[in-house]
Structure 1
Amino acid sequence: MTAASSQGGVSAVEVTAGGRGVVRVFLGVGVLNLAACLGVCLALGLPTPALITCAGAFVVALSAAAVFLRRSHPHARLGLANVITLARLSMVTVLLGILIAGGAEPWFVIALGVVALSLDGVDGYAARKQGLASRFGASFDMEVDSAFALVLSLLAATGPAGPIAILLGLPRYLYGLAAVALPWLNGELAPRFSRKVVCVVQLVALIALQLPFLGMPVALAIVIVTAGALAWSFGIDTVALHRGRRQSAS
Protein backbone atom coordinates (compact mmCIF):
# COMPACT_ATOMS: atom_id res chain seq x y z
CA MET A 1 0.00 0.00 0.00
CA THR A 2 2.96 2.31 -0.33
CA ALA A 3 3.27 4.65 -3.23
CA ALA A 4 7.06 4.52 -3.35
CA SER A 5 7.22 1.58 -5.72
CA SER A 6 4.62 3.02 -8.07
CA GLN A 7 6.68 6.20 -8.30
CA GLY A 8 9.66 4.36 -9.73
CA GLY A 9 11.95 4.57 -6.72
CA VAL A 10 13.68 7.48 -5.05
CA SER A 11 14.67 9.37 -8.19
CA ALA A 12 11.07 9.81 -9.29
CA VAL A 13 10.14 11.77 -6.17
CA GLU A 14 13.34 13.75 -5.92
CA VAL A 15 12.21 16.47 -8.29
CA THR A 16 14.20 19.66 -8.61
CA ALA A 17 11.21 21.93 -9.06
CA GLY A 18 11.22 23.31 -5.51
CA GLY A 19 8.40 25.27 -3.85
CA ARG A 20 5.12 24.51 -5.57
CA GLY A 21 6.73 21.66 -7.49
CA VAL A 22 7.53 19.81 -4.28
CA VAL A 23 4.00 20.41 -3.01
CA ARG A 24 2.56 19.04 -6.25
CA VAL A 25 4.69 15.90 -5.96
CA PHE A 26 3.66 15.54 -2.32
CA LEU A 27 -0.03 15.82 -3.22
CA GLY A 28 0.40 13.41 -6.13
CA VAL A 29 2.03 10.77 -3.93
CA GLY A 30 -0.67 11.43 -1.35
CA VAL A 31 -3.45 10.76 -3.88
CA LEU A 32 -1.80 7.44 -4.82
CA ASN A 33 -1.65 6.49 -1.15
CA LEU A 34 -5.30 7.47 -0.70
CA ALA A 35 -6.24 5.21 -3.60
CA ALA A 36 -4.24 2.36 -2.07
CA CYS A 37 -5.83 3.00 1.33
CA LEU A 38 -9.37 2.91 -0.07
CA GLY A 39 -8.50 -0.19 -2.09
CA VAL A 40 -7.45 -2.02 1.07
CA CYS A 41 -10.58 -0.82 2.88
CA LEU A 42 -12.75 -2.13 0.04
CA ALA A 43 -10.89 -5.45 0.07
CA LEU A 44 -11.63 -5.71 3.79
CA GLY A 45 -15.30 -5.14 3.08
CA LEU A 46 -15.54 -2.01 5.22
CA PRO A 47 -18.92 -0.24 5.04
CA THR A 48 -19.51 3.03 3.21
CA PRO A 49 -19.41 5.25 6.35
CA ALA A 50 -15.94 3.90 7.14
CA LEU A 51 -14.77 4.57 3.57
CA ILE A 52 -16.10 8.14 3.67
CA THR A 53 -14.47 8.76 7.05
CA CYS A 54 -11.15 7.38 5.82
CA ALA A 55 -11.20 9.50 2.67
CA GLY A 56 -12.17 12.63 4.58
CA ALA A 57 -9.58 12.16 7.31
CA PHE A 58 -6.80 11.48 4.80
CA VAL A 59 -7.68 14.48 2.63
CA VAL A 60 -7.75 16.81 5.66
CA ALA A 61 -4.40 15.48 6.92
CA LEU A 62 -2.84 15.67 3.45
CA SER A 63 -4.06 19.24 2.89
CA ALA A 64 -2.79 20.45 6.27
CA ALA A 65 0.56 18.76 5.69
CA ALA A 66 0.88 20.34 2.22
CA VAL A 67 0.43 23.83 3.70
CA PHE A 68 3.11 23.18 6.31
CA LEU A 69 5.38 21.60 3.68
CA ARG A 70 5.43 24.82 1.67
CA ARG A 71 6.60 26.79 4.71
CA SER A 72 8.95 24.36 6.45
CA HIS A 73 10.63 22.18 3.81
CA PRO A 74 13.54 24.22 2.40
CA HIS A 75 14.72 21.56 -0.04
CA ALA A 76 14.02 21.36 -3.77
CA ARG A 77 13.27 17.63 -3.50
CA LEU A 78 10.53 15.87 -1.60
CA GLY A 79 12.69 12.96 -0.51
CA LEU A 80 12.00 9.33 0.24
CA ALA A 81 11.41 9.98 3.95
CA ASN A 82 8.25 11.99 3.33
CA VAL A 83 7.00 9.37 0.86
CA ILE A 84 7.43 6.73 3.56
CA THR A 85 5.61 8.88 6.12
CA LEU A 86 2.74 9.33 3.65
CA ALA A 87 2.57 5.55 3.29
CA ARG A 88 2.44 5.25 7.08
CA LEU A 89 -0.38 7.80 7.14
CA SER A 90 -2.34 5.64 4.70
CA MET A 91 -1.85 2.63 6.98
CA VAL A 92 -3.10 4.60 9.98
CA THR A 93 -6.11 5.63 7.88
CA VAL A 94 -6.90 1.97 7.14
CA LEU A 95 -6.77 1.30 10.89
CA LEU A 96 -9.16 4.21 11.39
CA GLY A 97 -11.54 2.62 8.90
CA ILE A 98 -11.36 -0.67 10.79
CA LEU A 99 -12.13 1.21 14.01
CA ILE A 100 -15.15 2.95 12.46
CA ALA A 101 -16.38 -0.38 11.07
CA GLY A 102 -16.31 -1.93 14.52
CA GLY A 103 -13.10 -3.92 14.31
CA ALA A 104 -11.57 -6.58 12.09
CA GLU A 105 -9.40 -9.66 12.28
CA PRO A 106 -6.93 -8.71 15.06
CA TRP A 107 -4.02 -10.39 13.30
CA PHE A 108 -4.49 -8.06 10.33
CA VAL A 109 -4.45 -5.06 12.67
CA ILE A 110 -1.29 -6.39 14.31
CA ALA A 111 0.42 -7.08 10.98
CA LEU A 112 -0.43 -3.63 9.62
CA GLY A 113 0.69 -2.04 12.89
CA VAL A 114 4.03 -3.86 12.78
CA VAL A 115 4.67 -2.72 9.20
CA ALA A 116 3.79 0.89 10.04
CA LEU A 117 6.02 0.80 13.13
CA SER A 118 8.91 -0.73 11.18
CA LEU A 119 8.71 2.03 8.58
CA ASP A 120 8.85 4.60 11.38
CA GLY A 121 12.53 3.82 11.81
CA VAL A 122 13.22 4.07 8.09
CA ASP A 123 11.96 7.56 7.26
CA GLY A 124 14.30 9.39 9.64
CA TYR A 125 17.28 7.41 8.34
CA ALA A 126 16.29 8.17 4.75
CA ALA A 127 16.03 11.91 5.48
CA ARG A 128 19.50 12.00 7.03
CA LYS A 129 21.00 9.79 4.33
CA GLN A 130 19.69 12.05 1.56
CA GLY A 131 20.43 15.26 3.44
CA LEU A 132 16.76 16.22 3.26
CA ALA A 133 15.89 16.47 6.95
CA SER A 134 13.55 19.37 7.69
CA ARG A 135 11.26 20.79 10.35
CA PHE A 136 8.34 19.66 8.22
CA GLY A 137 9.58 16.07 8.04
CA ALA A 138 10.11 15.84 11.79
CA SER A 139 6.68 17.35 12.56
CA PHE A 140 4.89 15.25 9.94
CA ASP A 141 6.45 12.08 11.33
CA MET A 142 5.50 13.05 14.89
CA GLU A 143 1.88 13.80 13.98
CA VAL A 144 1.52 10.49 12.13
CA ASP A 145 2.98 8.71 15.17
CA SER A 146 0.46 10.49 17.41
CA ALA A 147 -2.48 9.57 15.18
CA PHE A 148 -1.17 6.00 14.97
CA ALA A 149 -1.06 5.75 18.77
CA LEU A 150 -4.53 7.27 19.18
CA VAL A 151 -6.20 4.92 16.69
CA LEU A 152 -4.43 1.87 18.16
CA SER A 153 -5.49 2.92 21.65
CA LEU A 154 -9.13 3.21 20.57
CA LEU A 155 -8.92 -0.24 18.98
CA ALA A 156 -7.27 -1.60 22.15
CA ALA A 157 -10.09 -0.13 24.25
CA THR A 158 -12.42 -2.76 22.78
CA GLY A 159 -10.12 -5.53 24.03
CA PRO A 160 -9.24 -6.93 27.47
CA ALA A 161 -7.61 -3.71 28.69
CA GLY A 162 -10.86 -1.79 28.27
CA PRO A 163 -11.26 2.00 27.99
CA ILE A 164 -8.16 2.64 30.12
CA ALA A 165 -6.09 1.78 27.03
CA ILE A 166 -7.13 5.12 25.53
CA LEU A 167 -4.75 6.78 28.01
CA LEU A 168 -1.85 5.55 25.87
CA GLY A 169 -3.08 7.47 22.84
CA LEU A 170 -3.82 10.80 24.51
CA PRO A 171 -0.52 12.22 25.90
CA ARG A 172 0.54 14.09 22.76
CA TYR A 173 -2.89 15.70 22.40
CA LEU A 174 -3.18 16.55 26.11
CA TYR A 175 0.26 18.12 25.91
CA GLY A 176 -0.88 20.18 22.92
CA LEU A 177 -3.94 21.40 24.83
CA ALA A 178 -1.74 22.35 27.78
CA ALA A 179 0.48 24.32 25.42
CA VAL A 180 -2.50 26.52 24.50
CA ALA A 181 -2.63 27.75 28.09
CA LEU A 182 1.15 27.55 28.60
CA PRO A 183 2.80 28.63 25.33
CA TRP A 184 6.29 27.95 26.67
CA LEU A 185 5.52 24.24 26.23
CA ASN A 186 5.92 24.87 22.49
CA GLY A 187 9.60 25.61 23.01
CA GLU A 188 12.38 23.81 21.17
CA LEU A 189 13.44 20.52 22.75
CA ALA A 190 16.90 19.05 22.46
CA PRO A 191 17.06 15.58 20.87
CA ARG A 192 16.77 12.84 23.50
CA PHE A 193 17.28 9.15 22.78
CA SER A 194 15.08 8.08 25.68
CA ARG A 195 12.17 10.03 24.14
CA LYS A 196 12.46 7.91 20.99
CA VAL A 197 12.68 4.73 23.06
CA VAL A 198 9.51 5.59 24.98
CA CYS A 199 7.69 6.34 21.71
CA VAL A 200 8.63 2.91 20.39
CA VAL A 201 7.61 1.29 23.68
CA GLN A 202 4.25 3.07 23.46
CA LEU A 203 3.55 1.79 19.95
CA VAL A 204 4.80 -1.74 20.66
CA ALA A 205 2.56 -1.87 23.74
CA LEU A 206 -0.46 -0.68 21.75
CA ILE A 207 0.17 -3.32 19.09
CA ALA A 208 0.57 -5.99 21.79
CA LEU A 209 -2.80 -4.96 23.25
CA GLN A 210 -4.42 -6.11 19.99
CA LEU A 211 -3.44 -9.75 20.68
CA PRO A 212 -6.66 -11.77 20.86
CA PHE A 213 -5.40 -14.15 23.56
CA LEU A 214 -4.19 -11.44 25.95
CA GLY A 215 -5.68 -11.70 29.43
CA MET A 216 -7.01 -8.70 31.35
CA PRO A 217 -4.29 -8.71 34.08
CA VAL A 218 -1.49 -8.70 31.49
CA ALA A 219 -3.25 -6.06 29.39
CA LEU A 220 -3.72 -3.78 32.40
CA ALA A 221 -0.08 -4.27 33.40
CA ILE A 222 1.03 -3.24 29.91
CA VAL A 223 -1.13 -0.12 30.06
CA ILE A 224 0.09 0.89 33.53
CA VAL A 225 3.79 0.39 32.78
CA THR A 226 3.56 2.17 29.43
CA ALA A 227 1.54 5.05 30.89
CA GLY A 228 4.23 5.45 33.55
CA ALA A 229 6.96 5.59 30.89
CA LEU A 230 5.00 8.20 28.93
CA ALA A 231 4.39 10.33 32.03
CA TRP A 232 8.11 10.16 32.84
CA SER A 233 9.12 11.18 29.31
CA PHE A 234 6.66 14.06 29.02
CA GLY A 235 7.63 15.12 32.53
CA ILE A 236 11.30 15.38 31.57
CA ASP A 237 10.42 17.53 28.55
CA THR A 238 8.15 19.77 30.63
CA VAL A 239 10.83 20.33 33.27
CA ALA A 240 13.46 21.06 30.60
CA LEU A 241 11.23 23.62 28.89
CA HIS A 242 10.34 25.26 32.20
CA ARG A 243 14.01 25.57 33.14
CA GLY A 244 14.81 27.05 29.74
CA ARG A 245 12.01 29.58 30.19
CA ARG A 246 13.33 30.64 33.59
CA GLN A 247 16.88 30.96 32.29
CA SER A 248 15.81 33.08 29.32
CA ALA A 249 13.74 35.29 31.63
CA SER A 250 16.71 35.89 33.92
Structure 2
Amino acid sequence: MPLARSARSRPSARRDGLMAFLVLTAVVAAIALVADVAPSVPAVSGLLGLAVLGPVVRSTTGRRGEPYGPADRITVGRSVLVAVCAALLPVGLLPMLEQDAGRPADAWCWAVVAVALPAWLLDGVDGWVARRTGTATRAGARFDQEVDAALLLVLSLAVAARLGLPGAWWVVLIGALRYLFLLGLRVRPAWNRELPFSSYRRVVAAVQGGVLLGALAPLIPWWLAVAATAAALGLLLVSFGRDVLWLERSARGRS
Protein backbone atom coordinates (compact mmCIF):
# COMPACT_ATOMS: atom_id res chain seq x y z
CA MET A 1 0.00 0.00 0.00
CA PRO A 2 1.56 3.37 -0.98
CA LEU A 3 2.51 5.77 1.76
CA ALA A 4 0.20 8.72 2.26
CA ARG A 5 1.91 12.07 2.54
CA SER A 6 1.13 13.74 5.86
CA ALA A 7 0.28 17.43 5.86
CA ARG A 8 2.33 17.76 9.02
CA SER A 9 5.38 16.07 7.53
CA ARG A 10 7.23 19.17 6.37
CA PRO A 11 6.58 21.29 9.52
CA SER A 12 7.86 18.37 11.62
CA ALA A 13 11.01 18.17 9.53
CA ARG A 14 11.57 21.91 9.87
CA ARG A 15 11.05 21.78 13.62
CA ASP A 16 13.50 18.92 14.02
CA GLY A 17 15.98 20.68 11.74
CA LEU A 18 15.79 23.82 13.85
CA MET A 19 16.34 21.81 17.03
CA ALA A 20 19.33 20.10 15.44
CA PHE A 21 20.92 23.43 14.60
CA LEU A 22 20.26 24.72 18.12
CA VAL A 23 21.99 21.68 19.65
CA LEU A 24 25.01 22.14 17.38
CA THR A 25 25.14 25.86 18.24
CA ALA A 26 25.10 25.03 21.95
CA VAL A 27 27.95 22.54 21.51
CA VAL A 28 30.09 25.04 19.59
CA ALA A 29 29.37 27.68 22.24
CA ALA A 30 30.42 25.22 24.96
CA ILE A 31 33.66 24.52 23.07
CA ALA A 32 34.38 28.26 22.90
CA LEU A 33 33.65 28.75 26.61
CA VAL A 34 35.08 25.61 28.19
CA ALA A 35 37.85 24.22 25.97
CA ASP A 36 41.29 25.77 26.29
CA VAL A 37 41.81 26.28 22.57
CA ALA A 38 42.60 29.08 20.15
CA PRO A 39 39.68 31.30 19.05
CA SER A 40 39.85 29.78 15.56
CA VAL A 41 39.00 26.29 16.84
CA PRO A 42 35.30 26.92 17.64
CA ALA A 43 34.87 28.53 14.22
CA VAL A 44 36.31 25.45 12.49
CA SER A 45 34.18 23.25 14.76
CA GLY A 46 31.07 25.08 13.68
CA LEU A 47 31.92 24.74 10.00
CA LEU A 48 32.55 21.00 10.30
CA GLY A 49 29.34 20.47 12.25
CA LEU A 50 27.40 22.40 9.61
CA ALA A 51 29.06 20.35 6.86
CA VAL A 52 27.40 17.27 8.39
CA LEU A 53 24.13 18.75 9.56
CA GLY A 54 23.42 21.15 6.69
CA PRO A 55 22.88 18.51 3.97
CA VAL A 56 20.80 16.42 6.39
CA VAL A 57 18.39 19.23 7.21
CA ARG A 58 18.20 20.31 3.58
CA SER A 59 17.41 16.72 2.57
CA THR A 60 14.57 16.32 5.06
CA THR A 61 12.95 19.73 4.70
CA GLY A 62 13.22 19.73 0.91
CA ARG A 63 11.90 16.21 0.40
CA ARG A 64 9.14 15.85 -2.15
CA GLY A 65 6.68 12.98 -2.59
CA GLU A 66 7.75 10.93 0.46
CA PRO A 67 6.73 11.67 4.06
CA TYR A 68 9.01 12.56 6.94
CA GLY A 69 8.32 9.87 9.52
CA PRO A 70 9.43 8.62 12.95
CA ALA A 71 12.40 6.74 11.51
CA ASP A 72 13.64 9.93 9.88
CA ARG A 73 13.45 11.67 13.25
CA ILE A 74 15.79 9.02 14.69
CA THR A 75 18.18 9.49 11.79
CA VAL A 76 18.15 13.25 12.34
CA GLY A 77 19.08 12.57 15.97
CA ARG A 78 21.94 10.39 14.80
CA SER A 79 23.08 13.12 12.43
CA VAL A 80 23.21 15.59 15.34
CA LEU A 81 25.52 13.21 17.21
CA VAL A 82 27.72 12.84 14.13
CA ALA A 83 27.80 16.63 13.71
CA VAL A 84 28.89 16.99 17.34
CA CYS A 85 31.68 14.47 16.72
CA ALA A 86 32.75 16.50 13.68
CA ALA A 87 32.71 19.66 15.80
CA LEU A 88 35.00 17.94 18.33
CA LEU A 89 37.62 17.07 15.71
CA PRO A 90 39.38 20.46 15.69
CA VAL A 91 39.51 20.46 19.51
CA GLY A 92 41.80 17.42 19.42
CA LEU A 93 43.50 17.79 16.06
CA LEU A 94 44.42 21.47 15.68
CA PRO A 95 46.25 21.88 19.02
CA MET A 96 48.00 18.59 18.36
CA LEU A 97 49.24 19.78 14.97
CA GLU A 98 50.24 23.22 16.22
CA GLN A 99 52.19 21.92 19.21
CA ASP A 100 53.54 18.80 17.50
CA ALA A 101 52.20 16.80 20.44
CA GLY A 102 52.06 13.55 18.48
CA ARG A 103 48.66 12.26 19.62
CA PRO A 104 45.47 13.80 21.03
CA ALA A 105 44.63 13.68 24.73
CA ASP A 106 42.87 10.63 26.14
CA ALA A 107 40.03 12.84 27.41
CA TRP A 108 39.31 13.98 23.86
CA CYS A 109 39.29 10.39 22.59
CA TRP A 110 36.80 9.40 25.28
CA ALA A 111 34.60 12.41 24.47
CA VAL A 112 34.39 11.41 20.80
CA VAL A 113 33.67 7.79 21.76
CA ALA A 114 30.91 8.87 24.16
CA VAL A 115 29.14 10.87 21.44
CA ALA A 116 29.77 8.47 18.54
CA LEU A 117 28.80 5.27 20.38
CA PRO A 118 25.03 5.99 20.55
CA ALA A 119 25.11 7.18 16.93
CA TRP A 120 26.59 3.82 15.94
CA LEU A 121 24.31 1.75 18.21
CA LEU A 122 21.22 3.46 16.80
CA ASP A 123 22.17 2.41 13.28
CA GLY A 124 19.49 -0.03 12.23
CA VAL A 125 16.96 1.21 14.77
CA ASP A 126 15.64 3.77 12.30
CA GLY A 127 15.19 1.05 9.67
CA TRP A 128 13.40 -1.18 12.16
CA VAL A 129 11.09 1.68 13.15
CA ALA A 130 10.38 2.46 9.49
CA ARG A 131 9.36 -1.14 8.83
CA ARG A 132 7.27 -1.43 12.00
CA THR A 133 5.38 1.79 11.28
CA GLY A 134 5.04 1.23 7.54
CA THR A 135 6.90 4.45 6.76
CA ALA A 136 9.95 3.04 4.95
CA THR A 137 10.99 5.23 2.01
CA ARG A 138 13.85 5.30 -0.47
CA ALA A 139 14.72 8.82 0.65
CA GLY A 140 14.91 7.63 4.26
CA ALA A 141 17.21 4.75 3.30
CA ARG A 142 19.55 7.09 1.40
CA PHE A 143 19.39 9.51 4.31
CA ASP A 144 20.48 6.77 6.72
CA GLN A 145 23.37 5.69 4.45
CA GLU A 146 24.73 9.23 4.25
CA VAL A 147 24.69 9.60 8.04
CA ASP A 148 26.52 6.25 8.34
CA ALA A 149 29.13 7.41 5.83
CA ALA A 150 29.68 10.70 7.67
CA LEU A 151 30.11 8.85 10.98
CA LEU A 152 32.76 6.54 9.50
CA LEU A 153 34.66 9.48 8.01
CA VAL A 154 34.70 11.38 11.31
CA LEU A 155 35.73 8.29 13.29
CA SER A 156 38.46 7.37 10.82
CA LEU A 157 39.97 10.86 11.16
CA ALA A 158 39.85 10.59 14.95
CA VAL A 159 41.43 7.12 14.97
CA ALA A 160 44.15 8.22 12.54
CA ALA A 161 45.02 10.98 15.01
CA ARG A 162 45.06 8.57 17.95
CA LEU A 163 47.32 6.13 16.10
CA GLY A 164 49.64 8.94 15.06
CA LEU A 165 49.59 11.24 12.06
CA PRO A 166 50.92 11.43 9.42
CA GLY A 167 51.94 7.75 9.61
CA ALA A 168 48.38 6.51 10.21
CA TRP A 169 46.90 8.36 7.20
CA TRP A 170 45.73 5.03 5.77
CA VAL A 171 43.03 4.77 8.45
CA VAL A 172 41.18 7.65 6.77
CA LEU A 173 40.58 5.35 3.78
CA ILE A 174 37.91 3.56 5.84
CA GLY A 175 35.81 6.70 5.87
CA ALA A 176 36.88 8.01 2.48
CA LEU A 177 36.20 4.92 0.33
CA ARG A 178 32.49 5.64 -0.12
CA TYR A 179 33.21 9.20 -1.22
CA LEU A 180 35.94 8.01 -3.56
CA PHE A 181 33.44 5.58 -5.06
CA LEU A 182 30.95 8.44 -5.58
CA LEU A 183 33.69 10.37 -7.37
CA GLY A 184 34.32 7.26 -9.47
CA LEU A 185 30.68 7.34 -10.59
CA ARG A 186 31.38 10.62 -12.35
CA VAL A 187 34.17 9.00 -14.32
CA ARG A 188 32.37 5.69 -14.80
CA PRO A 189 28.59 6.31 -14.92
CA ALA A 190 28.04 2.62 -15.75
CA TRP A 191 28.64 1.87 -12.05
CA ASN A 192 25.45 3.72 -11.16
CA ARG A 193 23.17 0.72 -10.74
CA GLU A 194 21.80 -1.29 -7.85
CA LEU A 195 24.14 -3.94 -6.48
CA PRO A 196 22.85 -7.44 -5.66
CA PHE A 197 22.32 -8.33 -2.02
CA SER A 198 25.53 -9.38 -0.25
CA SER A 199 25.77 -10.64 3.33
CA TYR A 200 29.52 -10.06 3.21
CA ARG A 201 29.01 -6.38 2.29
CA ARG A 202 26.49 -5.85 5.09
CA VAL A 203 28.62 -7.52 7.76
CA VAL A 204 31.79 -5.71 6.71
CA ALA A 205 29.99 -2.36 6.70
CA ALA A 206 28.53 -3.02 10.15
CA VAL A 207 31.94 -4.00 11.58
CA GLN A 208 33.72 -0.79 10.57
CA GLY A 209 32.10 1.50 13.14
CA GLY A 210 32.66 -0.90 16.01
CA VAL A 211 36.33 -1.41 15.12
CA LEU A 212 36.93 2.33 14.84
CA LEU A 213 35.22 3.01 18.17
CA GLY A 214 37.33 0.33 19.83
CA ALA A 215 40.52 1.64 18.25
CA LEU A 216 39.72 5.15 19.49
CA ALA A 217 39.24 4.04 23.11
CA PRO A 218 42.47 4.80 25.06
CA LEU A 219 42.23 1.56 27.06
CA ILE A 220 42.87 -0.47 23.88
CA PRO A 221 46.63 -1.01 23.38
CA TRP A 222 48.10 0.87 20.42
CA TRP A 223 49.31 -2.27 18.65
CA LEU A 224 45.88 -3.92 18.94
CA ALA A 225 44.14 -0.80 17.64
CA VAL A 226 46.48 -0.75 14.62
CA ALA A 227 45.98 -4.46 13.90
CA ALA A 228 42.18 -4.32 14.21
CA THR A 229 41.91 -1.19 12.07
CA ALA A 230 44.18 -2.63 9.38
CA ALA A 231 42.09 -5.83 9.29
CA ALA A 232 38.86 -3.82 9.01
CA LEU A 233 40.30 -1.77 6.16
CA GLY A 234 41.41 -4.93 4.39
CA LEU A 235 37.91 -6.41 4.59
CA LEU A 236 36.44 -3.15 3.32
CA LEU A 237 38.82 -2.99 0.37
CA VAL A 238 37.84 -6.54 -0.58
CA SER A 239 34.15 -5.60 -0.34
CA PHE A 240 34.56 -2.54 -2.54
CA GLY A 241 36.75 -4.48 -4.95
CA ARG A 242 34.13 -7.20 -5.36
CA ASP A 243 31.41 -4.64 -6.00
CA VAL A 244 33.48 -2.73 -8.56
CA LEU A 245 34.33 -5.95 -10.41
CA TRP A 246 30.63 -6.91 -10.50
CA LEU A 247 29.69 -3.47 -11.80
CA GLU A 248 32.37 -3.62 -14.48
CA ARG A 249 31.32 -7.08 -15.64
CA SER A 250 27.69 -6.01 -15.65
CA ALA A 251 28.51 -2.89 -17.67
CA ARG A 252 30.46 -4.91 -20.24
CA GLY A 253 27.62 -7.41 -20.49
CA ARG A 254 25.19 -4.63 -21.40
CA SER A 255 27.54 -3.06 -23.96
The TM-score range, normalised by the shorter chain, is 0.7 to 0.9
Say if 1:55 and 1:219 are closer, same or farther in 2 by CA, change over 3 A.
closer
Gaps of 5+ in 2: 36-40, 94-106
* Cα shift readout 1:73-124 (whole Å, capped 9, x = no counterpart): x44x311111111111111110111102226532222122210011112011
Structure 1 residue corresponding to 2:124, chosen from 121, 124, 145: 121
Show the 5 A alignment for 1:131-150: 131-150=134-153
Q: Does 1:61 align with 2:55?
A: yes
Q: Give the partner amino acid of 1:38.
A: T
In 1, distance between residues paired with 2:244 and 2:6? 40
Alignment RMSD: 2.4
Quick one: structure 1 residues 93 and 205, their matched pair in 2 at CA, closer, same or farther if it must change by over 3 Å? Answer: same
Identity %: 32
For 1:247 and 1:130, how far apart are their aligned partners in 2? 40
Q: Which amino acid aligns with 1:209?
A: A
Match of 2:216, SS state, is: coil
Aligned to 2:241: 235
Report the CA distance between 1:209 and its aligned residue: 1.6
Name the structure 1 match of 2:215. 209
Structure 1 position 90 matched with structure 2 position 80: yes
CA deviation profile, 1:184-206 (whole Å, cap 9, x unmatched): 12211233332221111111111
AA at the equivalent of 1:212: P
Deviation larger for 174-183 or 155-164: 155-164
Q: Name whichever of 160-169 and 179-188 sits farther off.
A: 160-169
Write out the 4+ residue segments of structure 1 that deviate beyond 4 Å after TM superposition: none
> CA 1:151–1:124 in structure 2 vs 1: closer, same or farther (change >3 Å)?
same
The amino acid that maps onto 1:16 is S
User: Contact 2:158 / 2:216 at 8 angstroms: preserved in 1?
Assistant: yes
Distance change >3 Å, CA 58–CA 113, structure 1 → 2: closer
| Aligned residue identity for 1:163 | W
Alpha carbons of structure 1 residues 62 and 244: separation in structure 2 relative to 1, 3 Å: same
- The answer on whether the counterparts of 2:211 and 2:232 sit within 8 Å (CA) in structure 1 is yes
Task: State the TM-score, normalized to the length of structure 2.
Answer: 0.80
What is the alpha-carbon distance in structure 2 between the residues aligned to residue 214 and residue 87 of structure 1? 28
Q: Distance in 2 between matches of 1:190 and 1:89?
A: 27
AA partner of residue 56 (structure 2): L
Q: Aligned letter for 2:132?
A: K
Normalising by structure 1, we get a TM-score of: 0.81
2:16 matched to 1:29?
yes
Judging changes above 3 Å, is the alpha-carbon distance between structure 1 residues 31 and 193 closer, same or farther for their aligned structure 2 residues? farther
| Separation in 2, partners of 1:98, 1:126 | 29
Q: Is the Cα–Cα contact under 8 Å of residues 85 and 140 in structure 1 kept in the other structure?
A: yes
Structure 1 residues 58, 243: CA separation in 2 closer, same or farther (over 3 Å shift)? closer
How many Å separate the matches in 2 of 1:27 and 1:16? 14
Instruction: Give the paired residue count.
Output: 229
Contact 1:27 1:62 in 2 (8 A): no
Residue 60 of structure 1 deviates from its aligned partner by 2.8
Q: Give 1:54 shift.
A: 4.6
Q: 2:70 aligns with which of 62, 69, 80?
A: 80
